[in-house]
Amino acid sequence: MLSKKTKYGLKALTFLASQKVKQPVQIAEIAKQENISQKFLESILLSLRKTGFLGSKKGKGGGYYLIKEPKEIFMTDVMRVLEGPIAMVPCVSLNFYEQCDDCPDEDSCAVHMLMLKVRDANLKVYRNTSLADLTG
């Protein structure tokens, strides 16, 4: 299952991407428009800022805004930040590889084999999809 964190994060990003005027948007505004718990969204936007997707401005007239162009924001990066590793098992992860402690041989492991295919399929989708592609 996709976590609500990821769902909300994606919605917030696309909301910001579809802004005509390039001014900061307040958390409350995004939360209201997208039906998201404001406090939860707050922590999500914060993590998106800390990972370089968003910028923020405090005080009156403040809010969040995209740092890069939607075309330049790819789902591979977004998903890794919001949802975690794209691979479903660490032993097929590109960025978070870990050996299985219970499995003696990766090459003959059925789970490894299957999840490798799944990872490749998902990577292909995420790499070929930018935020711009999602703003209809």
Partner DNA sequence: ATTTACCCTATAGAATTAGTAGATTAATAA
Partner DNA sequence: TTATTAATCTACTAATTCTATAGGGTAAAT
Q: Which residues bind DNA (CB under 7 A)?
A: 3-5, 8, 24, 26-28, 36-40, 42-43, 45-46, 49-50, 56-64
User: CB–CB of 53/78 below 8 Å?
Assistant: yes
Measured from the CB of residue 100, what is the shortest distance to DNA in angstroms?
Answer: 12
Q: Tally Cβ neighbours within 10 Å of residue 107.
A: 6
Judged by CB under 8 A, does residue 25 bind a second copy?
no
Judged by CB under 8 A, does residue 108 bind a second copy?
yes
- Assign 123 to helix, strand or coil: helix
Judged by CB under 8 A, does residue 20 bind a second copy?
no
Name every residue whose Cβ is closer than 8 Å to that of residue 36 and which is 6 or more positions away in sequence.
8, 11, 12, 30
Q: Work out the burial of residue 54: count CB atoms within 10 Å of its CB; fewer than 13 is exposed, 13-18 middle, 19 or more buried.
A: buried
Partner whose footprint covers residue 70, from a second copy, DNA, none (CB < 5 to 8 Å by kind): none
Partner whose footprint covers residue 127, from DNA, a second copy, none (CB < 5 to 8 Å by kind): none
Near a second copy by CB under 8 A: residue from 43, 57, 72, 121: 121
d(CA 123, CA 45): 24
Residues that bind a second copy (CB under 8 A): 1-2, 7, 10-11, 13-14, 34-36, 75, 84, 88-89, 102-103, 108-111, 113-115, 117-118, 121-122, 124-125, 129, 133-136
